[in-house]
């Protein structure tokens, strides 16, 4: 085993609170009593949950992994980045999952009854493993904004949900990636619930280096797991 220095404490000031009044559903699901720490026997869960053989050749390509009779509608984009530890080192072999709305702003889920069309060629979910440099890469469709009923005339900005798994299932972290210049960010309680100094870490960067000519725009979104630049996560405590 590697003899590494101890991890620095989590920067809790970078993460949104469990209960943020403007984000109304947090008042219903956020804990109101102190959390109970789990004992070390949680380590019994240290076992591969997903193996390399579980990743299909199209799992990272949301434009093809659910196609039935054509390509999905909308603007193709490439989303890539690195998963890094607190010292800027790559996290190799991490399972990265994404899920999102389609270009019209609708999820394939029975709870989503937004009056927008479903796309028969777009599932809105994908996954991949980080490589030796800690890099992941997805090809997808830019998600649309959608109403969500939190407050009058409430619309969610364009966003993609990210999930990361570590050595065992209980180590899952979840966050959201937003797009630069989105005017809805200023009106979104979920984004605004993140401490002001950490919000920019949730916004991807447009880059021509990732953009493929005549095919898809490119965005970079690095995910830092700890340290002063750690990415804000949902319900981290």
Catalytic annotation, residues: 107, 146, 156, 159, 161
Structure tokens at 12: 């809790």
Give the count of beta carbons closer than 10 Å to the beta carbon of residue 61: 17
List the structure tokens of 135: 């890099």
- Strand 76-84 to 217-220 pairing: parallel
CB 82 within 8 A of CB 133: yes
- 140, 63 contact by CB (below 8 A): yes
Please state whether 48 falls in left (phi above 0), alpha (psi between -120 and 50) or beta. Answer: beta
Whole-number CA gyration radius for the chain: 18
CA–CA dist 151, 62 (Å, integer) = 31
Widest Cα–Cα separation across the chain:
55
Q: How far apart are the first and last CA of the chain?
A: 28
Q: Which among 57, 55, 59, 60 has a CA at the least distance from the CA of 139?
A: 60
Cα separations (Å) of 223 from 3, 121, 161, 179, 190?
Answer: 24, 29, 12, 15, 18
State phi, psi for 199 to the nearest 5 degrees: -65, -40
């Amino acid at each position: 085993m590697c003899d590494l220095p101890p991890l620095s404490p989590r920067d809790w000031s970078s993460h949104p609170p469990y209960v943020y009044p403007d984000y109304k559903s947090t008042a219903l699901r956020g804990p109101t009593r102190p959390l109970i720490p789990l004992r070390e026997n949680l380590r019994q869960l240290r076992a591969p949950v997903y193996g390399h053989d579980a990743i299909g050749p199209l799992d990272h390509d949301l434009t093809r992994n659910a196609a039935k009779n054509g390509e999905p509608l909308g603007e193709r984009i490439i989303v890539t980045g690195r998963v890094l530890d607190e010292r800027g080192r790559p996290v190799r072999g991490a399972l990265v999952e994404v899920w999102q709305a389609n270009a019209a702003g609708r999820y394939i889920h029975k709870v989503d009854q937004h009056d927008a069309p479903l796309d028969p060629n777009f599932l809105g979910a994908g996954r991949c493993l980080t490589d030796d440099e800690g890099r992941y890469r997805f090809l997808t469709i830019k998600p649309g904004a959608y109403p969500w009923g939190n407050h009058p005339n409430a619309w969610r900005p364009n966003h993609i949900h990210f999930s990361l798994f570590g050595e065992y299932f209980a180590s899952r972290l979840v966050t959201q990636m937003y797009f630069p210049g989105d005017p809805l960010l200023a009106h979104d309680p979920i984004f605004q619930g993140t401490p002001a100094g950490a919000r920019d870490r949730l916004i991807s960067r447009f880059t021509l280096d990732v953009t493929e000519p005549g095919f898809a725009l490119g965005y970079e979104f690095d995910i830092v797991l700890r340290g002063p630049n750690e990415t804000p996560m949902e319900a981290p405590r």
